[in-house]
Amino acid sequence: MRRTKWWVYSRHSMKTMRITESGFKYRWPLLAGTIRVLWNAVRLPVAATLLLLEPVVAFVCGAGLVLGVLACILFEISAAGPRFPFVKALGISLGFGVILFLYYGLLSLFVED
């Protein structure tokens, strides 16, 4: 049996096969196309749902952020109660902004321009 760099000879048959054309070369576009179709099958419904909920999420998180910070400042200035949890309430209010930021990040993952 003679073996060279480009050709592989089989013992049991006289057929030759190139090493570079082993079959994986032809399966790669099929695998990539299948993954792309499955990604789009998941991505499109999720993107549609996120886009439909975007005005509601933006309004609720924006209102929670602005009104929460204003309420924290007013309650801290007025000293309405003996112990107002200013830091905790401010953290919750700022959490609305973080949630909105993460929502837009998630939206940018699923929506392609």
| Assigned domain for 2 exists | no
Looking at per-residue pLDDT, the higher value among 25 and 97 belongs to: 97
| Assigned domain for 1 exists | no
Q: Round the CA-based radius of gyration of the chain to a whole number and report it.
A: 30
Mean per-residue pLDDT, 13-21: 51
- Residue 85 CA to residue 108 CA, distance in Å, equals 35
At residue 54, does pLDDT exceed 80?
yes
User: What pLDDT does 5 receive?
Assistant: 47
The total number of structural domains that make up the chain: 1
- Residue 88 CA to residue 72 CA, distance in Å, equals 9
Out of 6-20, 63-77, 97-111, least confident range: 6-20
Measured between alpha carbons, how far is residue 37 from residues 26, 41, 49, 50, 60 in Å? Answer: 18, 6, 19, 20, 34
| Assigned domain for 52 exists | yes
- Residue 96 CA to residue 65 CA, distance in Å, equals 5
| Assigned domain for 72 exists | yes
Domain that holds residue 53: 7-110
- Residue 43 CA to residue 108 CA, distance in Å, equals 11
**pTM of the predicted model as reported, rounded to 2 decimal places:** 0.68
Residue closest to 103 by CA, chosen among 43, 45, 61 = 61
| Assigned domain for 98 exists | yes
